[in-house]
Amino acid sequence: MSERHHVIVGMGITGNEAAITLRRREPQSRITIVTLASLLFYNRYDLPQVFRGKHDWREFLVHPPAFYDDNRITVRRNSRVANVDPLNKVMTLEHKEDIPYDTLLVATGGRGWIPEELAEFRPLMQGFGSFEQAITVARALPEGGGRVVMLGGDMIGLDLARTLIDTGHRVTLVAGEQTFWPHQVSAERRPAFVAALETMGVEVVEQDSVGGVAQIAQGAKGLPARKVVFRDGSELMADVVMPFYGIQPAIDFMGRTGVDVERGLLVNPELRTTDAAIWAAGDVCQIWSQEENRYRFYYGWRNVRAMGEVAAGNMTGGNDAFVADQDEKLEIDAEGRLVSPFWEYA
């Protein structure tokens, strides 16, 4: 058992927690983390701190580089997994290198989803999914305050909006179906939550009231860098346009494995996929819920971290079921401001 090779794809909260758990449970086995990221594990919830002047990536790292050496965890950064061959238990990186595994954990999370009708404007929009992207946004906003147009308004975006407003920037949200995702908000309660956003200083434009986004364009010389044009002809100028329409699981490289997928990788409550040697955890997976009689995602810091631990436990002989431990209710506090359990992390 000790010579087994546990391979983890992804170095987010889930992958990192799984590696630590694997090392604790099997001091001798080989553990390799493969990630697209250029930096070692950092908590992306912290990224809004770039607007408070935190620009040194080292300050974001959760563990010092020596931590991985000390725990004999091999980390392969800037490496994209291109394919997995379950029959031969081999994973192939984009540069054609093969990595054999005994067990494989897919913890590739998700990337920002962009509605098809806006895909052509992707180069004119700015993501916020990595340290590098966060620094790019911080540099694109003028000292003393700029203007951000936020499209969609999922809870990651609204978390960022709080920091942007608090650090002197103006935020205009073009609200629609994905506003407050992953919270499920009823039509009855939505107006109160929108009013809470306005109390927090967010300017809200309901996408339906302007006919939706027709175009995103470069701003003219001497004007802010971006222009958002709506179908009713109205426009918004902005220094930065940021899409926050929720996330889409990063599973493209699993396409030829035969492992069951819906939007994410489908797993049983023990986080095992339909392949006996492959587990999945975090934002990338949908877990079978007997109670709801469906496969569903479980978001939130506490959930994805617990999934990493449970999956690693089951990859090393355990048989524990994941139990969700995250409140999912969106609330309004006494000051009329939004409170979301999805904003909490340790």
Ligand X SMILES: Cc1cc2nc3c(=O)[nH]c(=O)nc-3n(C[C@H](O)[C@H](O)[C@H](O)COP(=O)(O)OP(=O)(O)OC[C@H]3O[C@@H](n4cnc5c(N)ncnc54)[C@H](O)[C@@H]3O)c2cc1C
Where do contacts with ligand X occur on this chain (CB under 6 A)?
A: 9-15, 34-37, 44-45, 47, 80-81, 107-110, 128-129, 155-156, 159, 250, 253, 282-284, 299-301, 304, 342-343
Which residue, 183 or 227, has its beta carbon nearer to ligand X? Answer: 183
CA–CA gap between residue 196 and residue 218 (Å, rounded): 31
Which DSSP state fits 76? Answer: E
Residue 76 neighbours by CB under 8 Å, 6+ apart: 32, 33, 34, 35, 93
| 239: nearest Cα among 131, 130, 144 | 144
For the bound state, the minimum distance from the C-beta of residue 77 to ligand X, rounded and expressed in Å, comes to: 9
Q: How far is the CB of 155 from ligand X (least distance, A)?
A: 5
CA triplet 78, 84, 85: central angle to 5 degrees? 150
Q: Considering the complex, what minimum distance in angstroms separates the CB of residue 110 from ligand X? A: 6
Residue recorded with tokens 């897919």: 106
Q: Which is nearer to ligand X, 25 or 111 (CB)?
A: 111
Q: What angle do CA 278, 281, 284 make, to 5 degrees?
A: 100
Torsion from C-alpha of 231, 170, 138, 162, nearest 10 degrees: -110
Measured from the CB of residue 327, what is the shortest distance to ligand X in angstroms? Answer: 12
Q: Which is nearer to ligand X, 227 or 305 (CB)?
A: 305
Place of tokens 């054999």: 100
Quote the tokens at residue 180. 């407050």
Work out how close the CB of 300 gets to ligand X at its nearest, in angstroms, rounded to a whole number.
5
For 227-248, the DSSP string reads EEEETTS-EEEESEEEE---EE
- Which residue type does 341 have? P
Q: By C-beta, is 255 or 258 nearer to ligand X?
A: 255
Nearer to ligand X, 159 or 275 (CB): 159
Among residues 210 and 271, whose Cβ is nearest to ligand X?
A: 271
Distance CA(333)–CA(122), nearest Å, equals 35
Give the Cα separation of 183 and 175 in Å (integer): 14
Q: Closer to ligand X at the Cβ: 288 or 345?
A: 345
Least CB distance from residue 226 to ligand X, whole Å? 20
Handedness of CA 265, 266, 272, 276 (dihedral sign): negative
Minimum CB distance to ligand X, residue 1 (Å): 26
